[in-house]
Structure 1
Amino acid sequence: MPKQTQIDADVVIVGAGLSGMIAARTVLAAGLTPVVLEADERVGGRILTEEVIPGVPVELGAQWIGDTHERMFRLAAELGVETYPQFDDGETSYDLVGSGVLRESEFHARFAEELAELERVLRRLDELATEVPVDAPWSAPEAAQWDSITAGAWYDAQGLSQVARTLLEICTVGILAVPTAEVSFLHLLFTIQTCGVTSELFAESEGGAQTTRFVGGTVEIPRRLAALIADRIMLKVPVQLIEHSADSVTVHCRGGLIARGRRVIVAISPTLAGRIMYDPPLPGMRDQLTQRVPNGSAMKAFFVYDEPFWRTDGFNGQLISDVGPARMSNDTCIPGDNHGVILMFLEGEQARSFGRLPEEDRRAALTAELVRHYGGKAAHPEFYVDGEWSDRQWTRGCYNANLGPHVWTAYGPALSAPIGVIHWASTDTATYWSAYMEGAVDAGERAAREVVVALTD
């Protein structure tokens, strides 16, 4: 039997992702003592930066913040992490519904009417989303109707052309990381409402969600947060059981560590939170919820070249395609470094299917796609790396949890409401920019405020 070790704190926090560490910092600032228990060997959760070659960090996890991500800009400034704008000069390359590869100007000229259709539907989504209260989506006037259909079914009913419908699917899967046939239409509207409008969700230029990156990599944010509370973080201690009473918690970890406190914040995705045992058991409503909020499926693949040759040809490094394997890409070069870096996204079904292939086959298929869009130079990268999040033991998917039909209306109140001394925090529970780093900060701060109020009143 492993030897037991006990640690005491006011607040036990499960998970050293962004929500968990923000919660810990907030609790500490209020004069309470936190302890953070992390199953993985690193901090950061769904943030993961790897330096493939010196000076070239690539973001296998969260990468961007957007212009309205005020909490993240403020946090970066507080931690001394500098930012820089996402490169966006040049044209996007398209290959949709048999069009062949077209430059952005050609695509827009050929499909102007179809793009106008798409814009009409996006504006309608914005209008409907305003009727969804972010703190209680199930109370929207049409919640029952919207939650009974999928986002894909609603899209299909809009009479869109094939081009417009395909673009809408690609953009939405790029946000949710699941096919639209798997997610509730109410959940889509909730996501839009937490982020403002569709233009902020889908745009990559000014006003969008992917306008800004971090010098040194996104990992600088959790790394510097961890440094502030380093003596209160325990790594490689998977939580197995949370015993709770009216005024205390005892958290049991694999390996014999026991953490005792007055409150616990479970700062991991609802799916993973549902895999912890609780004594006494949680209400059935909460358990039923966690059986119905799967994480998305996402893979990122990076190609590193000796130079960003696509820029010379007037491209911005972004492609949009239904041919695949990747549906979208980005130029992710590092300012001040001469290498060219292209990131290719495989999300939803693409991540699931191509994630099962041997890496050499996946790389070959992605290389062929880049060659179609950017020419023969794309066939000869200096380095390649990819990663699929559902394979990661302590994450089991990205970017976020998605609610299918009837989940919000039947189980929504159980998503973030505390259960006695147990509180919940992760970007999946946020009411502002849910599924983004901004949402993770929002959720961590909210859960910490709940605890501070409970323990200091």
Structure 2
Amino acid sequence: MNAREADVIVVGAGLSGLIAAREVLRAGREPLVLEANDRVGGRILTEEPVPDVFLELGAQWIGDTHHRMEALASELGIGLYQQLEDGDTSYEFGGRILRGEAFHSAYADEVAQVERVLRTLDAMAESVDVAAPWAAPRADEWDRISVGQWYDQQGLSAVGRELLEICTVGILAVPTVEVSLLGLLVNVVTCGVTADLLSESEGGAQTKRFVGGTGQIPQRLADELGERVVLESPVLTIDVGDGVVTVGCRGGLVAKGKQVIVALAPTLAGRIMYDPPLPGVRDQLTQRLPQASAHKSFVLYDEPFWRDEGLNAQLISDAGPARMSNDSCMPEGDGGPGIILAFLEGENARVQGRWPDEQRQAALRDELVRHFGPRAAKPELIVEGAWVERQWTRGCYNANPGPCGWIHFGASLAEPIGPIKWAATETALAWSGYMEGAVDAGQRAAREVLADLG
């Protein structure tokens, strides 16, 4: 039997777990990080299919108010560059494709409807305390209805309703009928306002990228921790005894510590066997926090030809298979291929994401031709990432409870259970669901264990 000891055992070497471990180490305590996968990063994954071309199959952007991530990138010596937004977006509704101002003119009423709904959400979110959303004055009412049901009550046209669906699924990666209205408001309040959450332009959540790829961040954090990070060690059991936490892994590794941070998405944390068993309310919570469905498709061309036509590689479509896309090229001035990133999220990830690769990619090429012209028909390479197929993730981007999840079980999401503390971006009070939230959660969990260690 292989045995290790540390002050704090961290389960999961995603961004949240690595941040927590580093905070523990800097406080003069010994962490040990146990990771099921053969790599670090969790929901951060960068691939380099051709030299100097970095594709973010996982987390990709930060926003203008993601100050923790900006500070971390600066500390680790990783540069940032702006997401390219210049040019017109291509819209497809009811078989009609319009670009930029032509769409906004033709559908001015629908755009105004969407703006009205977003401002209403902002006003509602003002009464939600992110630390206790179940205590909001109208929490019971808002948590008993899905976002989709509420949208249906807002007097929207078919196009306005579809625009809201596409934008919301682009954030949550599940159909709006599966998320409670209170759950959406929690997302809004952790991120500021809907403009911060939904916009890709100034102030939004997707304005900057990392030079050389996001995957450098967890790798450099792991390098700091050295042999304190153990890969290919799936945690099976967590036993809490008299002042000792014993963590058992597949393969025989047994780690003993005084505290443990479980830095996994809630549903994955619920697959570990705990002794004594966790309180029933915690288990009921994890049963109601499924991982979302997201599938990213990077389509590479010899150059970003769409820019010469005044386009920004963004599409918004009611037809699919991708409902949204954007320009995912390397920093301007670096040359390299033209890259369009197409998103299949929610039901599209569940349906078209399961199609045979040849069928899905043919449909995707046809869609890109409709929006960006005949040159889109012949990409040099398509690289895809289906997160539901990854054994130690089983979905992306994050997890959101359905109706009645927050009011009955939400208080258990980040509440410590003795020496067991919880991290992962879902538990964050700022930018939950993002890398910024992962850092926030890791720092909070580290503070909790350090306080208990004295």
Tell whether the structures are fold-level matches, with TM greater than 0.5. Answer: yes
Q: What's the CA shift for 1:245?
A: 2.5
2:53–2:336 contact (8 Å) kept in structure 1? no
Instruction: Indicate the residue corresponding to 1:286 in structure 2.
Output: 282
How far apart, in 2, do the equivalents of 1:306 and 1:111 lie? Answer: 34
Shift of 1:114: 1.2
Task: Kindly provide the amino acid, as one letter, of the partner of residue 362 in structure 1.
Answer: R
Would you say the 8 A contact 2:366–2:377 is kept in 1?
yes
Could you tell me the TM-score, scaled by structure 1's length? 0.98
Structure 2 counterpart of 1:319, from 315, 320, 333: 315
1:246–1:420 Cα contact (<8 Å) kept: no
> Match for residue 238 of structure 2?
242
Q: Which runs of 5+ in 1 are unaligned?
A: none
Following superposition, the deviation at residue 167 of structure 1 comes to 0.6
1:349 is aligned with what amino acid?
E
Contact 2:43 2:396 in 1 (8 A): yes
CA RMSD of aligned residues (A): 0.7
Partner of 2:266: 270
- Asked if the contact 2:167–2:198 (Cα under 8 Å) also holds between the matched residues in 1, the reply is yes
Query: Is 1:48 aligned to 2:45, yes or no?
Result: yes
> Secondary structure of 1:326's partner?
coil
What corresponds to 2:156 in structure 1?
A: 160
Which residue of structure 1 aligns with residue 422 of structure 2? Answer: 424
Q: Which moved more, 1:243-252 or 1:364-373?
A: 243-252
Opposite residue 295 of structure 2, the aligned amino acid is M
Q: Distance in 2 between matches of 1:250 and 1:224?
A: 28
- 1:13-64 CA distances to partner (integer Å, 9 max, x unpaired)? 0000000000000000111000000000000000000001111110100000
Number of matched residues? Answer: 452
What aligned pairs does 1:219-258 form with structure 2 within 5 A after superposition? Answer: 219-258=215-254
Secondary structure in 1 matching 2:354:
coil
SS of residue paired to 2:391: coil
Q: Hey, what does 2:404 align to over in structure 1?
A: 406
Question: Is residue 34 from structure 1 mapped to residue 31 from structure 2 by the alignment?
Answer: yes
Per-residue Cα deviation, 1:196-215 (whole angstroms, up to 9, x for no partner): 00001111111110000000
Correspondences of 1:326-341 after superposition (within 5 Å): 326-335=322-331, 336-341=334-339
> What is the CA–CA distance in structure 2 between the aligned matches of 1:394 and 1:230, rounded to whole Å?
22
2:168 is equivalent to residue 172 of structure 1: yes
Contact kept, 8 Å, 1:97 with 1:162, in 2: the verdict is no
Query: Which residue number corresponds to residue 84 of structure 1?
Result: 81
The normalised TM-score by structure 2 is 0.99
Matches within 5 A, 1:342-361: 342-361=340-359
Residue matched to 1:150: 146
Report the AA paired with residue 219 of structure 1: G
Deviations 1:89-111, CA, capped at 9 Å, x for gaps: 1000000234x111111100111
State the distance in 2 between where 1:96 and 1:47 align: 33
The residue identity in structure 1 corresponding to 2:139 is A
Once residues 275 and 375 of structure 2 are traced to their aligned partners in structure 1, the CA distance between those partners, rounded to angstroms, is: 59
Give yes or no for the alignment of 1:299 onto 2:295: yes
Instruction: Judge conservation of contact 1:55–1:337 (CA < 8 Å) in 2.
Output: no
Aligned to 2:13, which of 11, 16, 22?
Answer: 16
Inter-partner Cα distance in structure 2 for 1:284 and 1:386? 38
**Candidates 53, 68, 72, aligned match of 2:69:** 72
**Shift of residue 246 of structure 1?**
4.7
Paired letter, 2:117 = V
Secondary structure in structure 1 of the residue aligned to 2:335: coil
- Aligned equivalents of 2:164 and 2:100: distance in 1? 17
- Aligned-pair distance for 1:113? 1.3
Q: 2: CA distance between counterparts of 1:230 and 1:359? A: 39
Tell me which amino acid in the other structure corresponds to 1:126. D
Establish whether residue 433 from structure 1 lines up as the match of residue 431 from structure 2.
yes
Is 1:186–2:176 an aligned residue pair? no
The CA deviation string for residues 307-359 of structure 1, in whole angstroms up to 9 with x for no partner, is 00000100001000011000000101002023100000000000000121111
| 1: CA distance, partners of 2:298 / 2:78 | 23
Q: 2:367, 2:166 → 1: CA distance?
A: 16
1:245–1:421: 8 Å Cα contact kept in structure 2? no
Provide the residue aligned with 1:395 in structure 2.
Answer: 393
Q: CA deviation at 1:380?
A: 0.8
* Structure 2: stretches of 5+ with no match in the other structure: none
Q: 2:201 is matched by which residue type in structure 1?
A: S
Structure 2 partner of 1:204: 200
The alignment partner of 1:342 has SS state of strand
Amino acid at match of 1:359: D
Q: What is the rounded CA distance, in whole Å, between the counterparts of 2:244 and 2:396 in structure 1?
A: 32
Aligned counterparts of 1:160 and 1:435: Cα–Cα separation in 2:
28
> Structure 1: how far apart are the matches of 2:276 and 2:299?
49
* Separation in structure 1 between the aligned mates of residue 45 and residue 444 of structure 2, nearest angstrom: 24
Asked if the contact 1:114/1:164 (under 8 Å) is kept, the reply is: yes
Displaced runs of 4 or more, over 6 A:
none
CA–CA separation in structure 1 for the residues paired with 2:202 and 2:295: 25
The 8 Å contact of residues 246 and 421 in structure 1, kept in 2 or not, is answered as: no
Letter aligned with residue 35 of structure 2: E
Matched, 1:129 2:129: no
Q: Deviations over 1:286-308 (max 9, x none)?
A: 11111110010000000010000
How far is 1:387 from its partner?
1.1
Distance 1:412 1:203 in 2: 27
Amino acid at match of 1:385: V
**Cα pair 2:89 2:313 within 8 Å, conserved:** yes
Conserved in 2, the CA contact under 8 Å of 1:147 and 1:405? yes
Secondary structure in structure 2 of the residue aligned to 1:289: helix
Q: Structure 1: which amino acid aligns with 2:143?
A: D
